[in-house]
């Protein structure tokens, strides 16, 4: 790929644990979550594929029935096909989420965030760092399939280092308790794929 793998915008989620209680489905935009991400970037030049793993944290706090402040940080380290660390990417986002119910147990949402992307590259034992200010835009839908399972679908647009990227996001979330959920997300787009696992505590 040309430039840095900052185009690999990674984010969310699932572990399956039997629920021991039931509750009324209620979509929340007030939560804190921790994420593990594993991604692959397919490139035209050598090496043709690089893989990376990362960890992240996200916080969403509602201040109105239809709006929430969203903060997230994700740090990912990539390697060559020889599994040697090459680049570390950290993205920090701060933005606004708007959401509204369109049907029972179904909400649509949109998010606009300012982001800071930081890259540390290593070549021949020499490290170099760079950073840029960009933005991300997301739209999607969240729907409870049942009292314990939630499905989320969305599209996101990312721009940093003069590189635009579009990603399709799909996520299944399982509620272990009313406020505790675990999930699995798959993201794909612009020659990249990512699988994310997380745990979320809703408020």
Mind listing the pLDDT tens digit for each residue in 134-177? 999 999 999 999 999 999 999 999 999 998 999 999 999 999 99
Check if the beta carbon of residue 70 is closer than 8 Å to that of residue 95: yes
Q: What is the largest CA-CA distance in the chain?
A: 57
Say if residue 54's pLDDT is above 80.
yes
* Cα distance between residue 49 and residue 113, in whole Å: 29
Cα separation values, 152 from 64, 89, 118, 145, 202, Å: 22, 26, 28, 10, 16
Mind listing the pLDDT tens digit for each residue in 28-38? 999 999 999 99
Q: Where are the domains of the chain?
A: 5-202
Give this prediction's pTM: 0.81
62: Cβ–Cβ under 8 A, 6 or more apart, which residues? 29, 30, 68
From the options 2.40.160.20, 1.10.3720.10, 3.40.630.10, 3.30.70.2740, give the CATH code of 5-202: 2.40.160.20
Q: How confident is the model at residue 25 (pLDDT cuts 50, 70, 90)?
A: low
Question: Closest Cα partner for 140 from 179, 202, 91, 187?
Answer: 187
Cα separation values, 103 from 109, 111, 176, Å: 13, 20, 24
* Cα distance between residue 94 and residue 11, in whole Å: 14
Query: What mean pLDDT is predicted for residues 84-98?
Result: 87
Specify the residue for token string 């965030």: 113
């Amino acid at each position: 790929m040309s430039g840095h793998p900052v185009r690999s915008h990674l984010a969310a989620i699932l572990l399956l644990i039997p629920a021991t209680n039931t509750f009324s489905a209620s979509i929340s935009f007030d939560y804190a979550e921790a994420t593990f991400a594993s991604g692959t970037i397919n490139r035209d030049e050598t090496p043709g594929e690089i893989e990376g793993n990362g960890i992240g944290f996200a916080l969403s706090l509602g201040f109105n029935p239809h709006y929430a402040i969203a903060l997230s940080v994700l740090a990912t380290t990539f390697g060559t096909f020889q599994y040697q660390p090459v680049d570390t990417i950290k993205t920090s986002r701060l933005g606004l989420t708007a959401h509204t119910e369109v049907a029972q147990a179904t909400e649509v949402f949109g998010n606009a965030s300012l982001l800071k992307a930081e890259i540390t590259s290593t070549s021949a034992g020499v490290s170099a760092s760079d950073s840029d200010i960009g933005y991300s835009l997301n739209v999607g839908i969240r729907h409870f399939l049942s009292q314990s399972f939630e499905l989320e679908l969305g599209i996101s647009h990312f721009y940093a280092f003069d590189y635009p990227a579009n990603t399709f996001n799909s996520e299944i979330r399982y509620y272990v308790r009313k406020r505790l959920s675990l999930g699995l997300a798959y993201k794909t787009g612009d020659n990249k794929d990512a699988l994310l696992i997380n745990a979320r505590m809703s408020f």
